[in-house]
Structure 1
């Protein structure tokens, strides 16, 4: 199976497109040692969000590494942040500009098209199908796109990121009242720093599927990995840090669920 999926009962789908770590053998054969470390993975998010089943949420998480193909990039590979550096649909380097492929082994356009069909499309077909199922049952639905990233990545931003970065395509992907409800919960604790539509405004999934006029309200949360794990290899899960942020994370998701069911 190209993804892991669980159908829930409430109008909330949590997508985790960058948690995958598998790389097919034929692709791995052309990759560098830097690629095998998979440093740019959204590590441990499934564990951090392990309360979703109890809430009744649907979940969809990736099997394949973003180094195979990035499920949160548009299929035509347009830059989501024009004028800014970013990695592409089939990345050729890491966030720290380390080559992912051996000399002469970068994917051709034909190979990119093959990966789109084989690895990208199945995830998006399931995502669309579950949104449609939940819409038919409930009339509207929240799509929560869950991500994490190292807190300092000079290639993409200066200094340290805020701990919790919400993106709604500058307000286009969901109702403002939902953003306000979620951000209000995030800021109330004062333990973690918060940004809304700052450096991260939501990727392809948030922007493409978030259509509030059609009942789909999408929001992306990009968390600093420093809030719950070690940011250097072997990227260990930190129970002590996770114990601080996980209760808030559950409150944030619950706020989205409460909003959509009103």
Structure 2
């Protein structure tokens, strides 16, 4: 059964994607007691809030429906675990960030099960992302995609108290024009948020795969963590929704859009749709 993403289309050249915002757990997994507390739990409240704010500003928002412990939309489908001990970092985690087993011993997803999840969940999500990127790129000389994620929060090292509010990453400077990154960090500084660019957190799939600034597609990954994440969680628990953080998030998105409008057109006349689709097919079928 394929799982569709939540897509709200806008006309702005800015697109917000939240690969870790999903809360759904397939019914067959919910039969395992370890999955009961996972189902419905929000892993990335910051990413969810960013997509909601983007939609109020006429920007496109895409949020994954499936929980990232089922399958991580920001990991390439052929990536393997760093080690057996750290298998929870893999495409389909076998443990929570706390190290709790999600499967009984010997019942972890095998290669066939992982391949099925890729077909059911990962591929439809990235088909939606690709379609929206190409739609917006056809209408605008430059497009900016902000990928809001919770990679560090989902890692085995989440118990370490986060001190940075905004983790920006650009595939080591390759996925986005530096002027857009500078505009984002200026907003973070103005809002008195601790930030870092291309810090210790591992690079995600989206920046590496989609970022093609020379062809008019600029991608920055952002993890909202630290105090800002805690404040967003508290506001949601108190029923305040995005109201208390809408101004700061709007400022981030507007700064990116303003800077995007000042950039020259693409310098590479390559067939962008074909290049992106070929790369997508490689990852989806590997």
Measure, in 1, the Cα distance between the counterparts of 2:176 and 2:103.
Answer: 38
2:31 aligns to what? 29
1:228 aligns to what? 232
Measure, in 2, the Cα distance between the counterparts of 1:204 and 1:124.
Answer: 11
2:194 aligns to what? 193
Gaps of 5+ in 2: 263-286
Alignment of 1:1-262 (within 5 A): 1-30=3-32, 32-33=34-35, 36=38, 41-43=43-45, 45-47=47-49, 49-78=51-80, 87-148=89-150, 155=157, 159-190=161-192, 192-200=193-201, 202-224=203-225, 225-230=229-234, 237-238=237-238, 244-262=244-262
- Partners of 1:64 and 1:119 within 8 A in 2: yes
TM-score, normalised by the number of residues in structure 1? 0.85
- Partners of 2:49 and 2:242 within 8 A in 1: no
Gaps of 5+ in 1: none
TM-score, normalised by the number of residues in structure 2? 0.79
Question: 197-206 or 30-39, which moves further after superposition?
Answer: 30-39
Cα deviation, residue 261, structure 1:
2.0
- Partners of 2:88 and 2:96 within 8 A in 1: no
- Partners of 1:174 and 1:210 within 8 A in 2: yes
Measure, in 2, the Cα distance between the counterparts of 1:55 and 1:187.
Answer: 22
Give secondary structure in 2 for the equivalent of 1:136.
helix
**1:76/1:154 Cα in 2 relative to 1: closer, same or farther (>3 Å)?**
closer
- Partners of 2:30 and 2:39 within 8 A in 1: no
Give secondary structure in 2 for the equivalent of 1:71.
coil
Give secondary structure in 1 for the equivalent of 2:105.
coil
Give secondary structure in 1 for the equivalent of 2:186.
helix
Measure, in 1, the Cα distance between the counterparts of 2:48 and 2:27.
Answer: 24
Cα deviation, residue 250, structure 1:
1.3
> Would you tell me which structure has more helix in proportion to its own residues?
2
- Partners of 2:5 and 2:64 within 8 A in 1: yes
Q: How large is the RMSD of aligned CA atoms in angstroms? A: 2.8
Question: 3-12 or 154-163, which moves further after superposition?
Answer: 154-163
Measure, in 1, the Cα distance between the counterparts of 2:238 and 2:190.
Answer: 24
**1:217/1:170 Cα in 2 relative to 1: closer, same or farther (>3 Å)?**
same
Give secondary structure in 1 for the equivalent of 2:237.
coil
**1:118-152 Cα deviation digits (max 9, x unpaired):** 11000001101110111111022001001247879
Give secondary structure in 2 for the equivalent of 1:143.
strand
